[in-house]
Amino acid sequence: MYRIILIGNGFDLAHGLKTSYKHFINDFWENRKKNVIDNIKRDGDNYFFIDDFIHFRSPLLPSTIPQELHDNERGYKWFKKLSQSKNNNIMVIFKNDFLVNISEKALNNWVDIEEEYYLELLKKIEKENKSISKFEKVEQSEIGKLHYDFKKIQDELEIYLSKETNEDTIKNESIYNHIYSDFIKDEFLDYFASDEKIDHSVFINFNYTRTAEIYLKNKQNTSLIINIHGSLNDEDNPIIFGYGDEKDDNFTSIEKLNDNDYLKFIKSFNYSKTNNYRDMLSFINSGEYQIFIMGLSCGTSDGTLLNQIFEHENCKSIKIFYHKENGKDDYLNTYMNMSRNFNNKKKMRELIVSWKNSLPLVYETP
C-alpha cells in the first residue's frame, strides 16, 4: 500500500516560514510605504511615487501627513487612510484593483487569493456579457484588466516567496515520524493485513516552496515529490496560479461562452505545461493508498484535482493532521472544506479518519 502526503501552506507555516497570502500582502504594502517615504522623487515642490500598483503625490512629505497616521497605521491601511484624506494636496491612486480587493479581505485576517480571483472573474464575465454586444469589441475589457492585475500579483508573490524561503529550514522530527509511521488498522474501514507496510510515499506539494524536500532524506528509494503547482524560479516547472474547480456549475457556463480569454488562469489547462499531473495520475492508478493531509486547507480552488484523488477507487483512508493553537484546532473546518470536493458523501464518511484518531501536525509547546 502507498501513502500520499498532501502538502499545503500550513506545512510551511509549521516550519516558521511567513508564506501565507496575508504575510505576502502585508509585506507588499509595508515595502511600498517604505519606498514612498525613503525613495520619493521630487519634482518642484511635489513628491511623487509611481509604479504598477500605486500613484502617490504629496507636497513636502512627510510633514503634510499627520504624525498619528505614521504611528498607528501600517501597510495598506496607511495608504487607504491617505486616499481618504481631505487634504487635496495628497493624491493616492490605486492602480491594481484586484490587489485592493484582496487587501481589504486581508484586513479581516484571512484571504484566499485564488478563490477571490474566481469570484471576481464571475462578476466581470456577467457584467461584460450583459453590457457588450456580441458584435462589439472593446480595447481592454474588465476581464483583461483583471488578468493583468492578477498576473502582476503572481509575479510579486514569486519574488516575495523567494525571499522568505531558505535552505536552512530544519526538519521537524514529529512531522517526519508522522510521514513514515506504520499503517494503523483503526484508520481504515476495510480490514487490511496486520503486516501491511508502506511500499512508497509520494508528496504532492501544493506549495511553490521546496520545504517538503527535507523529508526525502534517507528515503530516496521509497519516496518522491511532485510539485504540482510548480516551483519558484523554475522555467521547466513554472508556478501555476489560478482556480481549479471544474465541478462548479459556473465553470460549465463559462466554457459555453466560447471565449478562451476567460479560461486563462484555470489550473486544469495550465497543468498541461508539465508532466506533473500525469505523474500524479500514474501514481494513484498504480495501487491502493492512504492520504495524509498536512497543512492543506482543501479549498475549492483545487477542487478538481482533490476530487480525483479523494474519490479514486484506490483511496482507502484520509487522515487530517490538524493545526492546533491555544487549545483549538481546525480539524472540523478542514473536514467541511474537503466535503465540497466530494460528490459521494457516503464515501467521504467512510474514508476520513475521525478527530479522535487524528493528530495535530505539530504538538503545542507546553
Task: Tell me the pLDDT tens digit for each residue of 92-116.
Answer: 999 999 999 999 999 887 889 999 9
Residue 64, φ and ψ in degrees, nearest 5: -85, -10
Tracing cell 476520513 back to the chain, one arrives at 352
The predicted model gives 181-205 an average pLDDT of 81
Looking at the chain, how many residues does it have? 366
Tell whether the model's pLDDT for residue 195 goes beyond 90.
no
Has residue 220 got a pLDDT over 60? no
pLDDT at 140 over 60: no
- The yes-or-no verdict on residue 71 having pLDDT over 60 is yes
Query: Sorting pLDDT into bands at 50, 70 and 90, what band is 118?
Result: very high
Q: What is the CA radius of gyration of the chain?
A: 23
- For residue 262, is pLDDT > 80? yes
**Residue 359: phi, psi to the nearest 5?**
-140, 155
Q: Residue 231 has what pLDDT?
A: 96
Note the helical H segments in the chain.
9-13, 21-38, 67-72, 75-83, 97-106, 113-131, 142-164, 173-179, 249-256, 267-270, 276-285, 303-310, 331-339, 345-351
**Spatial distance between the Cα atoms of 184 and 192, rounded to a whole number of angstroms:** 10
Q: What is the pLDDT of residue 265?
A: 95
pLDDT at position 108:
83
Q: Which residue has the higher pLDDT, 128 or 201?
A: 201
**DSSP state for residue 111 in the 8-state scheme:** -
Confidence at residue 139, expressed as pLDDT on a 0 to 100 scale: 44
Tell me the C-alpha distance between 48 and 46, whole Å.
7
Q: Please state the rounded mean pLDDT for residues 207-227.
A: 84
In this prediction, residue 126 has a pLDDT band, given cuts at 50, 70 and 90, of confident
C-alpha dist (Å) from residue 225 to 206, 208, 331: 11, 12, 25
* H-helix or E-strand spanning residue 42: strand 41-43
Task: List pLDDT tens digits, range 14-66.
Answer: 999 999 999 999 999 999 988 887 777 777 677 888 889 999 888 755 556 66
